[in-house]
Amino acid sequence: MLTRIDLTAEDRDAVAALCAEAAGEHPAADDPAFLREAPLIAHRMPRAVRAALAGLHADDGPSALVIGGLDVPDEAIGPTPSSWREGRPVPPAVHRLENALVLYSSLLGDVFGWATQQDGRLVHDVVPTRGHEDEQLGSGSTAPLMWHTEEAFHPYRADYVVLMCLRNPDGVATTVGGFDPSVLTEEERRCAFEPRFRIRPDKSHLQAYNAENADRHREGFDRTEQMNEEPDAVPVLFGAPHDPFLQIDPAYMDTAPGDEPARRTLDRIGEAIEGGLTDVPLRPGDVVFIDNFRLVHGRQPFKARYDGTDRWLKRVNVTRDLRKSSAMRLPDAVRVVV
């Protein structure tokens, strides 16, 4: 399910040099000119990095990859922000690490964001936030974050979710799991491929969690509201019957009232996933790439400290084809899906 490579000392220096060079030329990791150039710069990444990401992209082996070994200077990155809204301006050491995240990611596809999440930012902060402890959100803590497909509700969800660890003092694990369709009966398999399931947006896409750009992104909030009130019926499995893709988020999902076979099928898939979850405790400098069509992910519970030393991840969404969402993007923000 998961492979891991660690940068050699030489490769670590090479990656750091590219990130520093880019930081000298572009003001931020989400700067449009940097994003435009990132695939080109990434051609100069060490061969081991390019080979590992090409392997994931080929889609014929393990569906998650950890690239470890980036240097994270704990002092220089500053305190863990208390929410995704904080942490600006980005300290130079964090800017360079965000560059690494974008450069790695651009070897897989196009980095993009959501108008309705973290105010349309492309590089997200995943940090525990006061008041969210028991929420099914990246900013939760005491409650386990139930495994899910990222943006399972959305037709243009990421092909890959990429998480970079800056800090994780208690070794809290990200969970990763896949699904083996052979556990289903023929009838259940047919049911899973039929549009009998409804997936709602998670709370991070609600306007209340995104106050600042509410007007600019009105269309996006209206659409998510609509998806929340009247979710389309979708299948839970799609693609090749013998090797299906998965869209599932049990915490935000149901079946039509009275559709017992669909309920049973969903439960069966859920049990199988649950039984095969793997803990991936990220260390500072680890970047995990998760194939969001094949694997689900979540997080073990933990106790937040709220003292600037908390667990801190950076997250980007990557699509293999930004064009497919063109009808749902803002004209002046080509990488933001509304």
Ligand X SMILES: O=C(O)CCC(=O)C(=O)O
Choosing from 30, 110, 125, 150, the residue that interacts with Fe ion (CB under 5 A) is 150
Q: How far apart are CA 186 and CA 176, in angstroms?
A: 26
311 labeled part of a ligand binding site: yes
Q: Which residue is nearest to Fe ion (CB)?
A: 150
Strand partners, 287: 67, 164
315 is a site residue for ligand X (CB under 6 A): yes
Minimum CB distance to ligand X, residue 224 (Å): 17
**For residue 18, what is the DSSP state?**
H
Q: Give the interface segment with Fe ion, choosing from 107-115, 120-128, 142-150, 214-222 (CB under 5 A).
A: 142-150
The one among 23, 101, 126, 248 contacting ligand X by CB under 6 A: 126
For ligand X, the closer of residues 149 and 213 by Cβ is: 149
Beta bridge partners, 6, equal 68
Give the one entry of Fe ion, ligand X, none that residue 109 binds, where binding means its C-beta sits below a cut-off of 5 to 8 angstroms depending on kind: none
Is 150 annotated as contributing to ligand binding? Answer: yes
Rule CB under 6 A: choose which of 22, 28, 72, 313 binds ligand X: 313
- In order of 38, 70, 220, 247, 307, the CA distances from 101 in angstroms are 10, 10, 26, 25, 25
Nearest to 287 by CA among 316, 261, 246, 265: 316
Q: How far is the CB of 250 from ligand X (least distance, A)?
A: 13
Pattern 131-170, ligand X, x by CB under 6 A: -------x------x----x----------x-x-------
- Closest CB 44 distance from ligand X, rounded Å: 29
Which DSSP symbol is given to 63?
A: S
The reply, when asked if residue 187 is annotated as ligand binding, is: no
329 annotated ligand-binding residue: no
Has 174 been labeled as part of a binding site? Answer: yes
3-state secondary structure 210-251: CHHHCCCCHHHHHHHHHHHHCCCEECCEEEECCEEEECCCHH
Residue 213 interacts with ligand X (CB under 6 A)?
no
Question: In angstroms, what is the minimal distance from the CB of 215 to ligand X?
Answer: 26
Q: For residue 286, give both structure tokens.
A: 């680890």
CB-based closest residue to ligand X? 174
The backbone torsions φ and ψ at residue 279, rounded to the nearest 5 degrees and listed phi first, read: -85, 130
Angle at 285 between CA 281 and CA 291, to 5 degrees: 60
Minimum CB distance to Fe ion smaller for 176 or for 338: 176
According to DSSP, the β-strands at 333-337 and 329-330 are antiparallel
Region binding Fe ion by CB under 5 A among candidate stretches 64-72, 93-101, 150-158, 284-292: 150-158
> Could you say which DSSP state residue 62 is in?
-
Binding test (CB under 6 A) with ligand X, winner from 189, 223, 297, 314: 297
CA 100 to mean position of chain CA atoms: 16
Sheet containing 197-199: order of strands: 233-234, 197-199, 253-255
Query: Which position has the token pair 């969903």?
Result: 266
Query: Is there a binding annotation on residue 297?
Result: yes
279 touches 96 (CB < 8 A): no
Comparing CB distances to Fe ion, the nearer of 140 and 235 is: 140
Residues of the shown chain interacting with ligand X in the complex, contacts defined by CB under 6 A: 126, 138, 145, 150, 161, 163, 174, 297, 299, 313, 315
Residues of the shown chain interacting with Fe ion in the complex, contacts defined by CB under 5 A: 150
Annotated binding site for 2-oxoglutarate: 174, 311, 315
Annotated binding site: 148, 150, 174, 297, 311, 315
